Amino acid sequence: MIYRYKGIDATGQKVNDKIEASSLAEAKAKLKNQKILYSSIKEERASIFDHLSLKRTYKISPKDLSNLSRELATYIRSGISIVQALRVVQNHYTNNKRLSLFLSEVNRLLDEGKNFYAALNEQKVLLLPEFYKQSIKVSEDGGILDEVLLELADFLKEQEKLRKEIKSAFAYPGFMIAVSLIMIAFMLTFVVPQITSIFASMHQELPTPTKVVIALADFFTHNYMILLVFIAIFVALFMLLRQKSEKFAYWVDRLLLKIPFFGSLIERSELARFAYMASLLVRSGVPFVQTINLSANILNNRVIKQLFLDASKDVVEGKTLSSSLLKANYKIDYAFVQTIALGEETSQIEAVLSNISELYFEENRDKTSMLLSLLEPALMLFVGGSIGFIVAAMLLPIFSMSIQ
pLDDT higher than 60, residue 53: no
Mean pLDDT of 368-381: 84
pLDDT of residue 52: 36
pLDDT higher than 90, residue 26: no
Same fold, 58-142 and 170-404: yes
Distance CA 332, CA 320 (A): 16
Map out the domains of the chain as residue ranges: 2-52, 58-142, 170-404
pLDDT higher than 60, residue 57: no
Q: Which residue has the higher pLDDT, 115 or 169?
A: 115
Distance CA 308, CA 306 (A): 5
Find the range with the poorest average confidence among 21-35, 113-127, 207-221, 305-319: 21-35
pLDDT-based confidence at 49, cuts 50/70/90? Answer: very low
Provide the 8-state DSSP code for 189.
I
Distance CA 340, CA 322 (A): 6
Distance CA 83, CA 71 (A): 13
For domain 170-404, the CATH architecture is Up-down Bundle (1.20)
Mean pLDDT of 347-364: 90
pLDDT of residue 92: 86
| 155 and 138 Cβ atoms separated by less than 8 Å | no
> H or E segment at 4?
strand 2-8
Mean pLDDT of 22-28: 75
Spell 86-113 as b/e; 16+ CB within 10 A means b: beebbeebeeeeebbbbbebbbebbeee
pLDDT-based confidence at 237, cuts 50/70/90? Answer: very high
Of 213, 212, 207, residue with least CA distance to 194: 213
Q: Which residue has the higher pLDDT, 281 or 401?
A: 281
pLDDT of residue 22: 63
pLDDT-based confidence at 404, cuts 50/70/90? Answer: low
| 332 and 268 Cβ atoms separated by less than 8 Å | no
pLDDT higher than 50, residue 366: yes
| 89 and 116 Cβ atoms separated by less than 8 Å | no
Mean pLDDT of 176-196: 85
Find the range with the poorest average confidence among 10-24, 30-44, 167-181: 10-24
Does the domain made of 58-142 have the CATH classification 1.20.81.30?
Answer: yes
pLDDT-based confidence at 20, cuts 50/70/90? Answer: low
pLDDT of residue 384: 87
pLDDT in tens, 132-160: 888 888 888 778 889 889 988 988 888 88
Q: Which residue has the higher pLDDT, 180 or 22?
A: 180
pLDDT-based confidence at 401, cuts 50/70/90? Answer: low
pLDDT of residue 50: 42
Q: Which residue has the higher pLDDT, 401 or 237?
A: 237
pLDDT higher than 90, residue 254: yes
Q: Where are the alpha helices (DSSP H) in 171-245?
A: 171-186, 192-200, 208-244
User: Whole-structure pTM over 0.85, yes or no?
Assistant: no
Q: Please count the CA atoms within 13 angstroms of the CA of 348 that sit on its side-chain side.
A: 9
- Average pLDDT of the chain is 85
Q: Is 319 left (phi over 0), alpha (psi -120 to 50) or beta?
A: beta
| 302 and 330 Cβ atoms separated by less than 8 Å | no
pLDDT of residue 172: 82
Distance CA 210, CA 400 (A): 12
Q: Could you give the percent of the chain with pLDDT greater than 70?
A: 94
pLDDT of residue 343: 92
**Sign of the alpha-carbon dihedral angle for 277, 283, 288, 289:** negative
